[in-house]
A and B are shown apart, each in its own frame.
Chain A
Amino acid sequence: MSNFSVGFRSSGAVQILDLQGELDAHTAAELEAAIQKCQKDNRVHILVNGANLMYISSAGLGVFMAYIEEVRESGGDIKIAALQPKVYNVFDLLGFPMLFDIVETEEGAVDKFSSPSAD
């Protein structure tokens, strides 16, 4: 039984992934599969909505790390939005804000995809 799931939604050209539950070494493969599916479908403007993500360990962070360059090379990005403060703290601990676009709201992240120079 896994307590983690990924939901797929779209907003124009942006592929939204709704993460729900706890992301650890056991469930990280599901996030990996979701990102791979986006790549396969050529949906590389990926917005990860973390509003219902309750926990993340380094195994989960590692998935973002493993795909960010590849996604950017194909002209897209992985933006992360709506993280709960306790989960954001973990991203911050490892310096992720330096490497990833972490946005407060989903709307803000969608806007950034449509006007990438506006940061």
Chain B
Amino acid sequence: MASSTYTLTIPSSTRFLEDVREFVTMHATSAGFDEMEVEQLKMAVDEACTNVIEHAYAGQSEQPIDIAIILNRDKLTIRIRDKGQTFNQKTYQEPDLIKYAKTRKSGGFGVHIMRKLMDEVAYNNSGGYNECRMVKYRH
């Protein structure tokens, strides 16, 4: 099936999150997604990249993050690759808001948000890199 792919590579610093959001907004908008869907895509990618910066690369700011947007007739796929520490899905727990406030915890919502906003979220770490793949179907 025909598809188009657009790529962006950023260094692993939160300074570039703005560029990532702009990249996603541009391509999702021209692919015909509506404003609300574009907001959701933008946020899911921001959260995924923030996790790579803060966890996979643990604050090293010059490591590469490769982002690709793959457009198909029925869906938009976002692929994010890094070579940092692997995200362990097995130890991941869904956050509890009330408990979080009580313990003054401020992070840990990223994956929860990604799963709520996207139709599919999958992690893979074969091939020498970590890969997060998120899919949003066209309605």
From residue B82, how far is it (CB to closest CB) to chain A in Å?
15
What are the interface flags for A82-98 relative to B under an 8 Å C-beta threshold, 1 for contact and 0 otherwise? 00001001100111101
Interface positions, chain B 34-51, Cβ under 8 Å from A, are 35-36, 39, 42-43, 46-47, 50
From residue A18, how far is it (CB to closest CB) to chain B in Å?
20
The segment out of A5-13, A37-45, A52-60, A101-109 that lies at the interface is: A52-60
Given contacts A26-B15, A58-B110, A86-B35, contact A69 B102 (CB under 8 A): yes
Q: Which of B100, B104, B112 interacts with A70 by CB under 8 Å?
A: B104
Interface size on B, residues (CB 8 A): 31
Whether a CB of chain A sits under 8 angstroms from the CB of B116 is: yes
Given contacts A25-B17, A86-B35, contact A65 B101 (CB under 8 A): yes
Given contacts A98-B97, A99-B97, contact A62 B14 (CB under 8 A): no
From residue B59, how far is it (CB to closest CB) to chain A in Å?
11
Q: Which residues of A contact B106 (CB under 8 A)?
A: 62-63, 65-66
Q: Which of B15, B97, B102, B105 interacts with A94 by CB under 8 Å?
A: B97
Q: Is the interface of A mostly helix, strand, loop or mixed?
A: helix
A99 pairs with B46, CB closer than 8 A:
no
CA–CA, A26 and B117, complex, Å: 21
Q: Which residues of B contact A58 (CB under 8 A)?
A: 47, 50, 107, 109-110, 113
CA–CA, A65 and B100, complex, Å: 7
- Not counting A58-B50, A90-B113, A94-B112, a sample of 7 additional A-B residue pairs whose C-beta atoms are within 8 angstroms of each other reads A26-B18, A58-B107, A58-B113, A65-B101, A86-B35, A86-B39, A90-B43
Residues of A within 8 A of B (CB): 3, 22, 24-26, 55, 57-59, 61-63, 65-70, 86, 89-90, 93-96, 98-99
Q: What are 21 sample pairs from A and B whose C-beta atoms fall under 8 A apart?
A: A22-B18, A24-B50, A25-B46, A26-B14, A55-B42, A55-B43, A57-B43, A57-B113, A58-B107, A59-B107, A65-B97, A65-B101, A65-B105, A67-B104, A69-B104, A86-B35, A86-B39, A90-B43, A93-B117, A94-B97, A98-B98
Residues of B within 8 A of A (CB): 13-15, 17-18, 21, 35-36, 39, 42-43, 46-47, 50, 53-54, 97-98, 100-102, 104-107, 109-110, 112-113, 116-117
